[in-house]
Chains A and B, each alone.
Chain A
C-alpha cells in the first residue's frame, strides 16, 4: 500500500543548500545576515576612520553645555545660558504645539469641506473641488512660504495702529492681527481661580455622567431623556456661578500698543501662525477627500433601511451612517495627523524654532556634532510616529468588523 516514497534520507550534499527548499531559506537568511553585518562593519569602519581623520568622537556631552543662542518663541523657561538639551526640549514642545493646533484646525476645515463637496449646491461643490485639487497638487513647502509672504505683506505693521489717523485697528478692541504676529488677550489666574477651574472640570464629568444615565434609561426602559439642554446648562451654569461667587478671580490681560510694539496678552509670531495655517489648509484638503470617501462608502441601502425602520434623519446620521463612516475615515485621518507632525519640520523654512530648527539647525551648526544631533532628531520623530501608529492599531482592532 505504501506507494509514497520516503524522502531521501541522509546523504546531505552541499548542493542541497541551494536546491532543496528545506535548506534554501536558511542559506538565504545566512547570506543576508552576513551581508548585513558586513555592510554595517564596513560603514562603521569608515565612520571610525573618518572621525579619527577629523579628530572627532561620538559624544553627547554637548547636550549639557550652554547653548548660547536665543529662542524667540518658547513654552518653557529658556535663556541663552540654558543647555542644548533644554533648547532641544523647547524645540520639541514647539513642534508638538504646531502639530496639535494644526491637527485641530485641519480636522475642522477638512470635515466641513468634505461635507460641502457632497453638497447638492453645484457652485459650492465645484468651489470645494477646486480648493481640494489646488492644495493637494502643490508642495506644502510652497504653501508655507506663500502664506508667510502674504502675512508679512498684507497684514498691517504695529506702527499702523498708532496715532489718531491709524490705518489699522484692533478687532473687538482685544485682538490685533499684525504682520509680525497675532496678539490675543491672555487669561490671568488670580487667587481662587483654581476652584473655578475645578468646578468646570467637575461639570464636564457631570455632563458625561448624565449622558451615560440617559443612554441607560433609553436602553433599559425605553425612555427618551433629553440631553441637549441639560448638557448646555451643566456646561455653563455652575462655572459662571462659581466665577462670580469667588469674586471674578480670572481676568483678561489685553494686548495694548506701547511704543513701537504691542505689549501684554498672548503673542503668536507670524512664523507660527503661517506654519500652522498652511499645514492646516494643506492637510484639510486631504482630510476632505477622506471624509468624502468615508461617507460615499456607506451604501444608500443603509440610509433607506434605517428610514424604513422609522428612524428620523438626525438619528440615521448618528446611529447608522456615522459609526460606519468613521470606521473608514479615522485610519487615514490619523495618518494625516502623522503627516502634519512630520511636515511641521518644514518650520525651518520660515524660521519657526521647532526641534528641527533648534537641535537640527543651530545646535548642529554650533557644535558640529552632525551624527549625534541627526540621530536624536530622528529618534524624536520616530517615537512620535510609532506611538501614533500604536494608537491607530488599538483603534483599528477595536472597530474591526466582528466576524465569526
Chain B
C-alpha cells in the first residue's frame, strides 16, 4: 500500500493550463482569408484575378471622380480646367439637372408641382407596401392619383374631383346592388359612374378656371418624371386588367377563355417596341375621325396592355398553384363565383404571385425608357437628344450614362429587395 510513492512520478499536473488563443491559422482574420480567399490553387488564382480587376476599376475611376469638375457651363470650359488630367465633367449634371428630371419644356417655375407629387407618392404607396402602418393612411393612397394628376397636368381641380365623385358613386351603387347579384352590381356601378362623368362635363366646362393651376400639355412632360409617370400609371392600371385576364383564361366559358388566350399570347409574343410603334403611328387610324389623343395617353394604353398580359401569366401561375379543394370548399359554403374569387381564391393566389408581379413591375419600369425610340424625351431621350446634341455638352458620355444608371438602379434594386422581404413576411410555412 505504501510503496505506491516509492517510485517518484516524474510530473503530474494538478492545475489547469490557461486557455490559449486559437492558432493564427485557425481563427481570426488570417484564417478567414485563408479559408475564403486562398483555399487551394484555383481559388487563389480567382482571388488574384478578382483583386486585379477591382484594382483596374478603382484606379481608373478614382482620379476621374476626384478631379471631377462640378461648376462649368460647357465641356470646353471643363476641359480647360482639367488641362488634360483625367477627370469627370460632372458639371453637365448640375447644369442640366432640371432637364434630366423634368424634360426641357416643363415650365421651370412649376417644378415644385411634380416634386410634391413625387414625394406624396411615397406617402401614398407606403400603406400599400407595409401592412404595419396605420390603415388611415390609405385615404392618402385613394386621393393621390387625382391630386397627382392635378399637380402634374394642372388645370381646374374640378376635373379630377368629378372623376373621383363618379368612381365613388359607382362604388356605392355597386355595394347596394351586389347583394342581389354580382353581375347587377357591376353593371349598375358602371352605368352610375359613366352617368356622373357625363353630368360632370357640364359643370367642369364653364368652371374651368376654378382653383386652376397653369395647365401643362402632356407633350411637355419629359425626363425621369416621364419614366415615373409611365411606370406608376401603367403598373397600377395593368394590375386589375391582368387579374381579369388571368381569371378569363382559367374560365370554363370557351369564348371568353379564347379571347383572353389570344390577347395574352399575342402581346407576349411581340416586343414592346412594336407596340410603341402601334401607339405612335397605327393607333390613330383606329380612333374616331377627328379625335386627337395625346401621344402619352396612347403610349399608356399600349404599355398597360403589355404589362397586363405579363401580370396575367403570373397570376395564372398563382391560381394554378392553389389546390382545387379551395374553390370546391367555397362552392359548398354557398358562395357564388364572384364571392369565392374575391374572398377565397384571389387573396391566396395573389399572395403566391407577389414576387412575380413585382418582377413584372420592375421590368416594366425599366422598359419605360423605350419610349425614347418613338422620340419622346424621357431620361434616355433627353440624354441622347437635347443634351448630347447641344454644342456645350457634345461628347460627355460617361457622366451622363453613369447618372442614368444611378437613376434606375436604386429604385429597381429597392423594389426587388422589398419583394424578397415581403416573400419572407408572407411565408406561412405551408403552401
- Of A133, A139, A149, which is within 8 A of B408 by CB? A139
- Tell me, in angstroms, the Cα distance from A348 to B272 when the chains sit together: 13
Q: How far is the CB of A275 from chain B (nearest CB, A)?
A: 14
Q: Is A123 a contact partner of B37 (Cβ separation < 8 A)?
A: yes
> Which of A253-261, A319-327, A370-378 lies on the face that meets chain B?
A370-378
Convert A124-163 into 0s and 1s, putting 1 for each residue whose CB lies closer than 8 angstroms to a CB of B.
1001000001101111111001100110010000000000
Once bound together, how far apart are the Cα atoms of A153 and B398, in whole Å?
Answer: 10
Contact between A342 and B271, CB atoms less than 8 A apart: yes
Task: Pick out which of these stretches binds chain B: A114-122, A204-212, A223-231.
Answer: A114-122
Question: Closest CB-CB distance, A387 to chain B, in whole Å?
Answer: 10
The CA of A146 and the CA of B402, in the complex, are separated in Å by 9
Return the chain B residue nearest A378 by Cβ: B270
Give the distance to chain B from A349, nearest Cβ to Cβ, in Å. 6
- Inter-chain contact B47/A378, CB cutoff 8 Å: no
Q: Which residues of B contact A53 (CB under 8 A)?
A: 289
Q: For the complex, what is the distance from the CA of A139 to the CA of B397, rounded to whole Å?
A: 17
Interface-lining segment among A24-32, A170-178, A292-300, A309-317: A24-32
Nearest-neighbour CB distance to chain B for A39, whole angstroms, equals: 10
Complex Cα gap A371–B285 (Å): 9
Contact digits for B349-365, partner A, Cβ 8 Å, 1 yes 0 no: 00000000000001000
CB of B409 closer than 8 Å to a CB of A: yes
Within 8 A of A (CB), among B384-410: 384, 397-398, 401, 404-405, 408-409
A142 contacts B270, C-beta separation under 8 Å: no
B416 touches which of A18, A119, A137, A342 (Cβ 8 Å): A137
CB of B278 within 8 Å of the partner chain: yes
Which single residue of chain A is at the shortest CB-CB distance from B281? A370
Of the stretches B152-160, B166-174, B213-221, B252-260, the one at the interface is B252-260
Interface flag for A307 (CB, 8 Å): no
Task: Mark interface residues in A372-396 (1 if CB within 8 Å of B CB, else 0).
Answer: 0010011001100110000000000
Decide yes or no: A378 and B274 within 8 Å by CB, A32-B259, A122-B36 being known contacts.
yes
CA distance A36 to B51 in the complex (A): 62
Q: Are A121 and B47 in contact (CB under 8 A)?
A: yes
- Contact between B269 and A385 (Cβ–Cβ < 8 Å)? yes
Residues of the A chain whose Cβ atoms lie less than 8 Å from the Cβ of B37: 121-123
Q: Given A50-B285, A138-B366, A133 and B413 touching (CB < 8 A)? A: yes
Whether the Cβ atoms of A138 and B286 lie closer than 8 Å is no
B203 at the A interface (CB under 8 A): no
Determine the distance from Cα of A133 to Cα of B417 in the docked complex, in whole angstroms. 11
Residues of B within 8 A of A382 (CB): 266, 269-270
Which of A145, A149, A345, A349 interacts with B271 by CB under 8 Å?
A: A345
Asked whether B254 lies within 8 Å of A145 as measured between CB atoms, the reply is: no
Partner of A123, one of B50, B270, B272, B282: B50
Residues of B within 8 A of A122 (CB): 36-37
Interface check A195, CB cutoff 8 A: no
Chain A: CB-nearest residue to B401:
A146
- Check if B282 sits within 8 Å of A374, measured CB to CB: yes
Q: Is the CB of A145 within 8 A of B380?
A: yes
Closest to B291 in A: A46
Q: Is the CB of B412 closer than 8 A to any CB of chain A?
A: yes
Q: What is the CA–CA distance of A153 and B409 in the complex, to the nearest angstrom?
A: 24
Q: Are A342 and B369 in contact (CB under 8 A)?
A: no
Most interface-central of A47, A345, A348, A371 (chain B CB within 10 A): A345
Docked pose: A343 CA to B272 CA in angstroms = 9
Main secondary structure of the interface of B (DSSP, over half): helix
Docked complex Cα distance between A137 and B418 (Å) = 14
B76 interface hit (Cβ, 8 Å): no
Q: Counting CB contacts under 8 A, is A274 at the interface?
A: no
Chain A residues with Cβ below 8 Å from B43 are: 119-121
Q: For the complex, what is the distance from the CA of A36 to the CA of B263, rounded to whole Å?
A: 12
Main secondary structure of the interface of A (DSSP, over half): helix
B:19-56 near A, CB below 8 Å? 36-37, 39, 43, 46-47, 50-51, 53-54
Residues of B within 8 A of A116 (CB): 46
Interface residues of B toward A: which range? 35 or more
CA distance A47 to B289 in the complex (A): 9
Residue A346 CB within 8 A of the other chain: yes
Q: Does A33 have its Cβ within 8 Å of any Cβ on chain B?
A: yes
In the complex, B370 has a CB within 8 A of chain A: yes
Closest CB in chain A relative to B239 CB, distance in Å: 21
Q: Which of chain A's residues have a CB closer than 8 A to the CB of B370?
A: 141, 346
Task: For B374, give the chain A residue with the smallest CB separation.
Answer: A348
Contact, CB under 8 Å: A142 / B404? yes
Flag whether A356 is at the interface (Cβ < 8 A).
yes
A2-26 at interface with B (beta carbon < 8 Å): 18-19, 25
Q: Answer yes or no: A364 CB below 8 A from chain B CBs.
A: yes
Q: Does A360 contact B401, Cβ atoms closer than 8 Å?
A: no
Taking a contact as CB atoms under 8 Å apart, the answer to whether A137 and B373 are in contact is: no
Please judge, given known A-B contacts A47-B286, A145-B401, whether A138 and B39 are in contact too, CB under 8 Å.
no
| Candidates B256, B265, B413; contact of A32 at CB < 8 Å | B256
Of all chain A residues, which has the CB nearest B405?
Answer: A138
Nearest B-chain residue to A28, judged by Cβ: B253
Partner of A356, one of B50, B274, B281, B416: B274
Contact B282 A386 (CB under 8 A): no
Q: How far is the CA of A386 from the CA of B277 in the complex (A)?
A: 21
Q: Are A374 and B277 in contact (CB under 8 A)?
A: yes
In the complex, whether B273 has a CB less than 8 A from a CB of chain A is yes
Q: How far is the CB of B336 from chain A (nearest CB, A)?
A: 8
Q: Report A-chain residues with C-beta under 8 Å of the C-beta of B272.
A: 342
Contact B412 A137 (CB under 8 A): yes
Whether B79 sits at the interface, judged by CB under 8 Å, is no
Is B113 part of the contact surface with A, judged by Cβ < 8 Å?
no
Answer whether residue A268 sits at the interface, using C-beta atoms and an 8 A cutoff: no
Closest to B48 in A: A123
A252 within 8 A of B: no
- Is the CB of A49 closer than 8 A to any CB of chain B? yes
Q: A137-B412, A360-B277, A385-B268 are in contact. List 18 more A-B contacts (CB 8 A).
A: A29-B253, A32-B259, A33-B255, A121-B46, A122-B37, A123-B46, A127-B50, A136-B416, A137-B413, A138-B408, A141-B380, A145-B380, A150-B397, A153-B397, A342-B271, A370-B285, A374-B281, A378-B274
Of the A-B pairs whose beta carbons lie under 8 Å apart in the complex, a sample of 15, sorted by A's number, is A29-B254, A50-B287, A51-B285, A119-B46, A120-B36, A127-B53, A137-B408, A141-B373, A346-B370, A364-B281, A370-B282, A374-B278, A377-B274, A385-B269, A385-B270
Q: Which residues of A contact B (CB under 8 A)?
A: 18-19, 25, 28-29, 32-33, 36, 43, 46-47, 49-51, 53, 116, 119-124, 127, 133-134, 136-142, 145-146, 149-150, 153, 342-343, 345-346, 348-349, 356, 360, 364, 370-371, 374, 377-378, 381-382, 385-386
**3 closest cross-chain pairs (CB), A and B:** A385-B269, A137-B412, A122-B36
